[in-house]
Amino acid sequence: MASQSRKYRGFSTERVVAKYLSTWWAHADIGRGAGKDITHVPFDMEVKARSAFQPKAWIDQVTKRASKSQDLPIVVCRLNGQGESSPQDYLAFMRLGDLVDLLLSSGYGDYKGDRDTLEPMRCKMCGAWSFTETCRMCQSDPDANL
């Protein structure tokens, strides 16, 4: 059974995370009971401030709950030694498949085809290697003639 100080630390951490998220989701608030720890946000967030580190159990908990609403399941974990003044430094984690989906929908998947079958191109402007039509170093076409 968790001590009273650990319970209060957990409740305090939920408030800190909700306040931090309210910068982007104005109505972010704490939930109580068996539902979301942070309400009025477009994802399901489980907030933990425990001394025991049990990531598998925590991700299973939020994933099971989020599967009902189709929300993105995320765990935020305040580690021992982390105060309340820096919630941006708390750990946040999710399943790798969810992260890949999020990254692809955010524009990080701009490869045209499977990277294993693509041939890298050497940029004639800066010499960097690229798999894409635009060199990420100098923003030019790697095949462009000088």
Whole-number Å distance between alpha carbons of 118 and 87: 41
Please indicate, yes or no, whether the overall pTM of this predicted structure exceeds 0.75: no
* Cα angle 84, 86, 92; round to 5: 100
Higher-confidence residue: 98 or 145? 98
The predicted-structure confidence for 118-144, as pLDDT tens digits, reads as follows: 677 777 777 777 666 677 667 766 565
The predicted-structure confidence for 22-38, as pLDDT tens digits, reads as follows: 999 999 999 977 789 99
The answer to whether 71 touches 43, Cβ cutoff 8 Å, is yes
Whole-number Å distance between alpha carbons of 53 and 56: 9
Whole-number Å distance between alpha carbons of 113 and 2: 51
Beta-carbon contacts of 53 under 8 Å, excluding residues fewer than 6 positions away, are: 77
Is 146's pLDDT higher than 50?
no
The predicted-structure confidence for 54-95, as pLDDT tens digits, reads as follows: 999 999 999 999 988 889 999 999 999 999 999 999 999 999
- Surface-to-core class of residue 51, CB atoms within 10 Å of its CB (0-12 exposed, 13-18 middle, 19+ buried): exposed
Least confident of 40-44, 62-66, 105-109, 112-116: 112-116
